[in-house]
Amino acid sequence: MFVCDKCGQCCRHVNLSSIYHDLDRGDGVCKYLSGNLCGIYENRPLLCRIDESYEILFKETIDKDEYYRLNYAVCSKLKAKE
Ligand code: SF4
Ligand code: SF4
């Protein structure tokens, strides 16, 4: 299972990827972010669900360890912006 420390940095930079465009409140921050947490966590979009996204969208095209590695790399880059 993907380990998220709830830093909230991905949710503060939804403008960096066009697939999250609809979530941007206008300044790059997701309109659903509340503090560091997701205000619609149980109903958040599939693309905000790393493990579910893998099973539904990426399973056939990428190894899970590599998928996690790529996602953790993005987390590290976003954390560097803190
Ligand atoms: S940047 Fe990574 S660790 Fe931080 S909240 Fe997002 S998924 Fe979790
Ligand atoms: S919907 Fe929730 S998990 Fe997805 S970017 Fe917004 S605050 Fe983050």
In this structure, is the dihedral angle defined by the CA atoms of residues 31, 35, 37 and 39, taken in order, positive or negative?
negative
Does residue 33 have its Cβ closer than 6 Å to ligand 2? yes
Output the pLDDT for position 76: 97
Does residue 75 have its Cβ closer than 6 Å to ligand 2? no
pLDDT tens sequence for the chain (82 residues): 999 999 999 999 999 999 999 999 999 999 999 999 999 999 999 999 999 999 999 999 999 999 999 999 999 999 998 7
| Closest ligand 2 atom to 41 CA | 2
| Closest ligand 1 atom to 5 CA | 3
Residues 6+ apart with CB under 8 A from 73: none
- Indicate the domain borders of the chain: 14-79
Tell me the pTM: 0.94
Output the pLDDT for position 82: 75
